[in-house]
Structure 1
Amino acid sequence: MEIYLIRHTTPAIERGTCYGFSDLDLAPSFPEEAARVQQLLPQTPLTVYASPLQRCSKLARFLFGNNFTTDDRLKELNFGDWEMKRWDDLGPDALQAWMDNYVYARVPGGESYEDLYKRSVEIFREVITKQQNAALVTHSGVIRSLLAYVTNTPLENSFELRVEYGRMARISVQADGRLELLGVNE
């Protein structure tokens, strides 16, 4: 069994803006980026799950038609009060306090990276129990946390795992339940 973790394409937002739960549209490069992902997908049927945020559901629709299910657990980190604010405008003290303990510290009005990790792993385990090849069209935080889970990387070190727009990771689920990372940023 294989699971494909697909990150949405480039969003239409100014660099340096904090977003997670915000429902952003996609940049004009969407058709080219989406076509590139499409070429990498297997010809075998996949059970598809997507974040309900349009940057993921649009890509899922492009790749799989309407043959996908949305799930809130696949949303990006909830940045709460920081959503749609410029990182530079958050203030150095607030940002540093979070950065010093981002795994466990919740963003004001939002969630922690550990919260994201728990919900991501929960749906990932459910997908595995169905024993069908699957694709998850989601966000970098979800993918990074699942890659940490698969590779036994501590969450504190998981930001070293690069996850690019419009790319995917492949995971093999062995018959004995072992998880093997086959590729990243394909």
Structure 2
Amino acid sequence: MTRFFWIRHGPTHAKSMVGWSDLPADLSDRAALERLHDFLPDTAVVISSDLSRAVDTADAIARDRPRLPHDRDLREMNFGDWELKRFDEIDDQDHIRAFWDDPGDVRPPNGESWHEVSARADRAVARLISAHPGRDIVAVAHFGVILTQLQHGLGIGAYDVFAHRIDNLSVTELTLRPDGWQVGRINHCP
């Protein structure tokens, strides 16, 4: 049994689509970080995406837990030409509506589709399960990556998984059992 504790990085306060831009996290809420640290299993290994908002969040909660190298496959979705733009700033409104309303193969110009980010995150999860069987794994990642894994755990479509909130510094728990994924807490803020 492998348990994943998916943590969304600290807030960036950006009001736009933030994918691969390396914006820093606001980690000034020391009490929230302390509660998060205390909530997580002491024996877990900790990994994060390679973007600083996830790296710094992971470092803030890891402390004495073993810290694995950053994993680029845990990055947020690549929004391509839409990066750092608000929904209403996109010229092709039909395209962006299709991207959010029918997630799957639709991709932003020079970006990646929902299926592509899901496959990328799945590769990272498979590597982690193989390298750390039966361990507790704290993975500090991003909204999109966490939703891809929640989608698998719940066995629902991409559109439906977008109904779930994944707040900054929240925990979403998924456990891999012999019979498949089991979903625990979703968007839990300790």
Q: Name the TM-score, length of structure 2 as normaliser.
A: 0.87
**C-alpha distance after superposition, 1:137-172 (max 9, x if no partner):** 100100011000111111231101221111011122
The aligned residue for residue 149 of structure 2 is 146
State percent identity of aligned pairs.
Answer: 26
**Structure 2 partner of 1:99:** 100
Any stretches of 5+ residues in structure 2 without a counterpart? none
User: Paired residue for 1:57?
Assistant: 55
Structure 1 residues 28 and 170: CA distance shift in structure 2, 3 A: closer
Residues 84-128 of structure 1, C-alpha deviations (whole Å, 9 max, x = no match): 123221133442343343321111010001101111112112222
Equivalent position SS for 1:160: coil
Q: Distance in 2 between matches of 1:133 and 1:125?
A: 14
Given the alignment of the two structures, is residue 11 of structure 1 paired with residue 17 of structure 2, yes or no?
A: no
Query: What are structure 1's unaligned runs of at least 5 residues?
Result: none
8 Å Cα contact 2:103-2:158 kept in structure 1: no
Residue 38 (structure 1) aligns with: 37
Q: Which residue of 2 aligns with 1:84?
A: 84
3-state SS of the aligned residue for 1:6? Answer: strand
Aligned letter for 1:180? Q
Could you tell me which residue of structure 2 aligns to residue 160 of structure 1? 163
Cross-structure match for 2:75: 75
- Conserved in 2, the CA contact under 8 Å of 1:9 and 1:34? no
Q: Which runs of 4+ in 1 moved over 4 A?
A: none
**8 Å Cα contact 1:9-1:30 kept in structure 2:** no
Q: Which residue of 1 aligns with 2:184?
A: 182
Q: Which residue does the alignment assign to 1:172?
A: 175
Using the alignment, how far apart are the partners of 1:18 and 1:3 within structure 2?
Answer: 26
Change (3 A) 1:182 1:80: same
8 Å contact 1:21–1:79 — kept in the other structure? yes
Partner of 2:136: 133
- Cα distance between partner residues in 2 of 1:113 and 1:62: 29
CA contact (8 A) 1:10 1:29 kept: no
CA–CA distance in 2 between the matches of 1:50 and 1:106? Answer: 24
CA distance in 2, matches of 1:101, 1:182: 26
Task: Give the paired residue count.
Answer: 182
Q: TM-score, normalised by structure 1?
A: 0.89
How much has 1:64 moved relative to structure 2?
1.4
Is 1:26 matched up with 2:29? Answer: no
* 155-164 or 111-120: bigger deviation: 155-164
